[in-house]
A = this chain, B = another copy of it.
Amino acid sequence: MTKSRTNSLDFLSGLELMIDSYQGKEQIFGVNPNPAILRLSCEEGCVKVIEMARRLGVTADTVRFYTRIKILKPGKNKANGYREYSEKDYNRLRFVLSARQLGFSVEDIQEILNHADKKKSPCPTVRRLIDQRLNETEQRFAETLQLRERMQQAVVEWSQKPDKVPTGHMICHLIEEFSQ
């Protein structure tokens, strides 16, 4: 139950509130196979998109995005069509955000969730994917490092050089004479 709640702040107190108020219905909500009762508890425990977003420190657009691509599957209030995000959606979204922080793509996350939804361990997939993504990140890191150095050197070199008007075969001498 105790989580790494290190990376987010005030919406986590909201989380505790929500989980606590939900405590008494745990049997009904997650475990009880009767969908009628499940829906019943939703009326009290579920939240709308903005509240969901606020609790996890993202925008409503982000919540809608993950809903659109069916990572989140909130119910719908029959009366007005509003989405109803449950604790399960909350946990799922929190998971998604954690995974994104670790460099997983949304597609990766879908794959991971597919395993978990089938009650299979997603861990082997997770290990495979992070190796892959880490390689790419190393690659990107090296490229960004090089680009940064190149740009820094350009700024230094150019500070010694004058402005010039373009000629027939030279558009900008700063850029074109920069060797590296």
Using A143-B12, A144-B140 as known contacts, say yes or no to A100 and B151 having CB atoms under 8 A apart: no
* Interface pair A1/B101, CB less than 8 Å apart: yes
* Interface pair A99/B155, CB less than 8 Å apart: no
User: What is the bound-complex CA distance between A33 and B179, given in angstroms?
Assistant: 22
User: What is the bound-complex CA distance between A141 and B159, given in angstroms?
Assistant: 23
A176 at the interface (CB under 8 A from B): yes
- Binding site of A, secondary structure by majority: helix, strand, loop or mixed? helix
Q: Which among A5, A136, A144 has the greatest number of chain B C-beta atoms within 10 A?
A: A144
Q: Mark A150-180, 1 if CB is under 8 A from B, else 0.
A: 1110110010001111101101111111111
User: What is the bound-complex CA distance between A154 and B98, given in angstroms?
Assistant: 12
* Interface pair A137/B147, CB less than 8 Å apart: yes
A5 cross-chain contacts in B, Cβ below 8 A: 105, 133, 136, 140
A119 cross-chain contacts in B, Cβ below 8 A: 165-166
Q: Please tell me which one of the listed residues B122, B144, B146, B147 contacts residue A166 in the complex, with CB atoms under 8 A apart.
A: B122
A176 cross-chain contacts in B, Cβ below 8 A: 3-4, 95, 98
A113 at the interface (CB under 8 A from B): yes
Q: List 14 A-B contacts (CB under 8 A).
A: A2-B100, A4-B103, A4-B179, A9-B143, A30-B168, A33-B169, A91-B171, A95-B172, A116-B172, A123-B163, A123-B173, A126-B172, A130-B158, A141-B144
Task: Point out residues on A near B: beta carbons under 8 Å.
Answer: 1-7, 9, 12-13, 30-31, 33, 35, 91-92, 95, 97-103, 105, 112-113, 116, 119-124, 126-127, 130-131, 133-134, 136-141, 143-148, 150-152, 154-155, 158, 162-166, 168-169, 171-180
